[in-house]
Amino acid sequence: MIERTLVILKPSALQRGLVGEVTHRFERKGLRLAGMKMMQLTDHLLDEHYAHLINKPFFQRVKDSMMAAPVIACCIEGVDAVQTVRTLAGPTNGRLAAPGTIRGDYSMSVQENIIHTSDSPENAAVELTRFFKPEEMFAYKQVAFDYLYATD
């Protein structure tokens, strides 16, 4: 099943010069970039995006961290893209994330963990609508598609 998912390259990725490194990993994996833009996040947008954290003591700190510099929002597409991108990212705590994952290779923190990735196809659809206009996500033929996926 071809899915789309939201990836946000957080301020920690920009400040540490990791935008290319992280984007490269998705490209090399064979995922298709359907949308990409730099944004300055706002308190209001983050109240929605991180609504599941609203009662956590670190809620304001996480929001401040996400507003400390611009971010790069990406729409990434592929078969099972939501889970595949989560697997490439690794678990939330960069110190516990396995080497080879993005967080495992580039993060020493829970909060400053380089990227956001949607956690389910349902949430991916909601999040993509929140961050992208329809015309900012592009459908085009990925020339390597048949070589990437074959039949299963």
Contact footprint for ligand GDP (CB under 6 A): 53, 58, 61-62, 92, 110-111, 113, 116, 119
Instruction: Judge whether 92 is annotated as a binding position.
Output: yes
CB of 116 to Mg ion, least distance (A): 7
Q: Judge whether 52 counts as a catalytic residue.
A: no
Residue 31 beta carbon to ligand GDP: minimum distance, rounded to whole angstroms = 18
Q: Packing angle between helix 81-89 and helix 19-29, nearest 10 degrees?
A: 130
| 138 binding partner (options Mg ion, ligand GDP, none; Cβ < 5 to 8 Å by kind) | none
Q: In this complex, which beta carbon is closest to ligand GDP, that of residue 8 or of residue 36? A: 8
Contact 72, 13 (CB under 8 A): yes
**By CB under 5 A, what part of segment 74-133 binds Mg ion?**
119
Cβ proximity to Mg ion, 21 vs 119, nearer residue = 119
Cβ-count burial 54-86 (b if 16+ within 10 Å, e if not): eeeeebeebbebbbeeebbbbbbbbeebbebbb
| Residue 28 labeled ligand binder | no
Which 8-state DSSP code applies to residue 130?
Answer: H
User: Can you tell me whether residue 23 is helix, strand or coil?
Assistant: helix
Quote the least distance from Cβ 119 to Mg ion, whole Å: 5
Alpha-carbon distance of 1 to 81, in angstroms, equals: 9
**Residues annotated in a binding site for ATP:** 10, 58, 86, 92, 103, 113
